[in-house]
Amino acid sequence: MVRTAGSDGVKTLQAIRKAGVKRIYKHGFEAMKLRSLAEDVGIQAGSLYNYIRNKEEFLFLLLKEVLEELLEGLERELAGIDDPKEALIRFINFHLRWHTARKEEVFIGNMELRSLSKQHLQEIIRMRTEYESRLRRILERGNEAGEWSVADPQVISYSIIASLTGVCNWYSPRGRLSQDEIIAIYTDHVLGAVGAR
């Protein structure tokens, strides 16, 4: 986002981002008014333009930052892991923990792509494809190592990600199962689905 200098600027930018996520999640991007967002943060509406150029750019930068955090987190999770089965287990664990902790951003990322300009949409799709390709490469390595036999790693990677991300629609920390129990169930399910040894 535009302004980053100074601690007050950084804190205000973080407050704008947090308030924006809540507003978009609750009301949708099209219904979010910049004036209302400024009121949530306690600044003048005109002051928003010190931080963002326009509403669409705000959405793009929000989604871009979320995907950057996601990709960096996955990179750390998989660093130094050569065994494809262990990499798949770590991918499942990371994906479920990250997505259940960031349900609002995940919802926005899935529902508001239509509100992006063509150029911004292409950039977000490129980043999402980069994330999906990490899983596809794990599946391909597992095929090569004889850990499993997946006929179409790209299609199966889409299927796995859709299944794992779907947890966001119903997961509650106060629910019947703990996060660890849910991760164990999904890990068994995915390993069984790919035919892991």
CATH number at residue 179: 1.10.357.10
Residue that finishes a domain, picked among 53, 75, 92 = 53
pLDDT at 3 over 60: no
Q: Are residues 113 and 39 in the same domain?
A: no
Q: Are residues 49 and 68 in the same domain?
A: no
Residue that finishes a domain, picked among 34, 53, 72 = 53
Total domains in the chain come to 2
Q: Are residues 86 and 125 in the same domain?
A: yes
> Up-side HSE of residue 180: CA atoms within 13 Å toward CB?
0
**pLDDT tens-digit series, residues 89-129:** 999 999 999 999 999 999 999 899 999 999 999 999 999 99
Q: Are residues 33 and 59 in the same domain?
A: no
- pLDDT computed for residue 172 by the predictor: 87
Q: How far apart are CA 105 and CA 91, in angstroms?
A: 19
Question: What proportion of the chain, given as a percentage, has pLDDT over 90?
Answer: 80
Question: What proportion of the chain, given as a percentage, has pLDDT over 70?
Answer: 96
Q: Are residues 44 and 62 in the same domain?
A: no
Q: How far apart are CA 45 and CA 183, in angstroms?
A: 43
- pLDDT computed for residue 47 by the predictor: 87
Q: Are residues 46 and 60 in the same domain?
A: no
Q: Are residues 61 and 135 in the same domain?
A: yes
Asked if 195 and 148 count as a contact pair (C-beta separation under 8 A), the reply is yes
The range of the structural domain enclosing residue 182 comes to 55-194
Categorize the per-residue pLDDT at 7 as very low, low, confident or very high, splitting at 50, 70 and 90. Answer: very low
pLDDT at 53 over 70: yes
Q: Which two tokens stand for residue 195?
A: 């035919």
CATH of the domain at 32: 1.10.10.60
Q: How far apart are CA 98 and CA 106, in angstroms?
A: 10
Q: How far apart are CA 92 and CA 135, in angstroms?
A: 9
Report which of residues 152 and 5 the model is more confident about.
152
What phi, psi does 25 have (nearest 5°)? -60, -40
Q: Are residues 61 and 45 in the same domain?
A: no
- pLDDT computed for residue 45 by the predictor: 85
- pLDDT computed for residue 60 by the predictor: 95
Residue that finishes a domain, picked among 37, 53, 69 = 53
> What DSSP assignment string belongs to 51-88?
T-S-HHHHHHHHHHHHHHHHHHHHHHHHTT---HHHHH
pLDDT at 76 over 90: yes
Categorize the per-residue pLDDT at 5 as very low, low, confident or very high, splitting at 50, 70 and 90. Answer: very low
Q: Are residues 48 and 93 in the same domain?
A: no
Q: Are residues 111 and 162 in the same domain?
A: yes
Q: How far apart are CA 155 and CA 150, in angstroms?
A: 10
Q: Are residues 4 and 94 in the same domain?
A: no
Asked if 38 and 23 count as a contact pair (C-beta separation under 8 A), the reply is no
Q: CB under 8 Å to 21, separation ≥6 — which residues?
A: 62, 104, 105, 108
Q: Are residues 45 and 91 in the same domain?
A: no
- pLDDT computed for residue 157 by the predictor: 97
Asked if 158 and 136 count as a contact pair (C-beta separation under 8 A), the reply is no
